[in-house]
Amino acid sequence: MSTPTLFTLGGTISMRLVDGLAVPTLDAVGVARLLGGDPVLDAVEVARVGGSEVDFDHLRNLHAAMTAAQHRGSTGLIVTTGTDSIEEVAAWLTYTGPWTVPVVVTGSMEPGGEPGSDAVANLRAALAAVDTPVSSEPVVAFAGAIWLGRGVQKVAGIGLDAFATPGRPALGQVKGPAARSASATKEGAVVTAEHPAPAPATVLGPPGARIARVPLVGAALGADDLALRAVAVDADAVVIAGNGAGNLPPALASTAIELAAAGTLVVVATRAADSRTAAVYGYRGGGGRLVEAGIVLADHITPHQVRVFLTVAVSRGLTANAVRSTLIHHLESLT
C-alpha cells in the first residue's frame, strides 16, 4: 500500500537544544516519529542543516528524491525545512513541477525535538493537506492554515503564526481533531476557502544542468551602487528589492539602467509586504523611469521568489531573451 513520503532538509523542526542553542539533530525517521508511534510516512533525509544553510544544490537533490518517490507511487510528498527557507523552497517546487501528487511544505518555529513544539501540529496539518488537496500546486501548511506555495512569505521572526500570502487569503484551514487510519496523525479536516482559485503558475519543469548566477540586492535610503556593481559581474540576471511600488535610490537606479542598457536582465521587485509594483513615479529612480529603460518591474511576486524563478529558467539553458519573455509571461499570469 502506497503512503506519503516525507523529505527532510533539517531546519528547526529537526532540532534539539544543545547548550541552550537549537541545532539540527533529528534525521528523517526522527522527524516522522514526532507524530507518535511507528512512522506512517516513508522518510527520506535530503540534508540536515539550518534553514539559512539551504542552497540550490540541496534543492536539486530534493527534486531528484521527490521525483523518484513520485515514480515509485507515493501518494503525497511532504517537505520539511527551516522556516527561513520555506518561501524559496515552495517557489522552487512550484516552478520545477508539475507534480502528479500533492506537494506540501512545512516546518516549525520551535525545536521539533523539544516538548510542546508546534512541529507535531504542523506535520499533522501537512498530512491533512495531502489527504484533502486544495490546489494542484505545492502548498505550505503551517499553524492551521494552507497557503499557496509560490505566494507564501515569512511574516514573523519568532511567532508561531509565521506565514501568510499578504493580500491574498489562505487556500484552506485545518479544523478540528480527526484520525488517519488507526492512529491520530492528521490535525483535522481541511475546510477549503470560498474564493476564486489563483491563476495557474508558469511551470518551467525540472532544473537543468546549468548553474545560474542571479544575485539579489536590496534598496535602502541613500544607497550607493557599490554592491550592485560588484554582484553584477558575470551575472545571468540581477534582482533588486526596491522600495514601495518598485522605486530605487538615484545611484542604484543609474547603475541598474546602465546594466540593462548593456544587456543584463534587471528585475525590480518590492520589499513591501503585498508584493505590488507599478510604473507610477517619474522622478529619478521612480518605477516609470526604470520601465522606460528596459528594467522589468515584478508585480505580485517577492524578490526572493522571482530570483528562484530566474534561477530555474537559466538552469534550463534558456537564452537571455527567452528568460526575459518567460518571466514577463509569468508576471502577466499573476495579475
Q: Which of 214, 207, 178 is nearest to 95 (CA)?
A: 207
Q: Which of 150, 145, 123, 160 is nearest to 190 (CA)?
A: 145
The confidence band for 178, taking pLDDT boundaries of 50, 70 and 90, is very low
Instruction: Assign 248 to helix, strand or coil.
Output: coil
The whole-angstrom separation of Cα 268 and Cα 217 is 10
Judge residue 244's burial from the number of C-beta atoms within 10 Å of its C-beta, 0-12 exposed, 13-18 middle, 19 or more buried. middle
How far from chain centre, in Å, is Cα 46? 17
Judge residue 67's burial from the number of C-beta atoms within 10 Å of its C-beta, 0-12 exposed, 13-18 middle, 19 or more buried. middle
Averaged pLDDT of the chain: 94
The whole-angstrom separation of Cα 295 and Cα 220 is 19
Lowest pLDDT segment from 29-43, 90-104, 190-204: 190-204
The whole model's pTM is what? Answer: 0.94
**Cell matching residue 272:** 513591501
Comparing 190 with 70, which gets the higher pLDDT? 70
Model confidence at 112: pLDDT above 60: yes
Model confidence at 187: pLDDT above 90: no
Model confidence at 277: pLDDT above 70: yes
What is the percent of the chain with per-residue pLDDT over 70, rounded to a whole number? 96
What pLDDT score does 177 carry?
Answer: 54
Is there a contact between 99 and 201 (Cβ–Cβ < 8 Å)?
Answer: no
Q: How many CB atoms lie within 10 A of CB 258?
A: 16
* Mean predicted confidence (pLDDT) in 178-191: 51
What pLDDT score does 185 carry?
Answer: 43
SS3 letters for 293-330? CCCEECCCCCHHHHHHHHHHHHHCCCCHHHHHHHHHHH
The domains of the chain, with CATH numbers, are 5-192 (3.40.50.1170), 216-334 (3.40.50.40)
What pLDDT score does 310 carry?
Answer: 98
> pLDDT tens digits, residue range 289-317?
999 999 999 999 999 999 999 999 999 99
Start-to-end C-alpha separation, the chain: 42
What pLDDT score does 200 carry?
Answer: 86
> pLDDT tens digits, residue range 162-177?
999 998 999 999 986 5
The confidence band for 38, taking pLDDT boundaries of 50, 70 and 90, is confident
Model confidence at 180: pLDDT above 70: no
Judge residue 283's burial from the number of C-beta atoms within 10 Å of its C-beta, 0-12 exposed, 13-18 middle, 19 or more buried. exposed
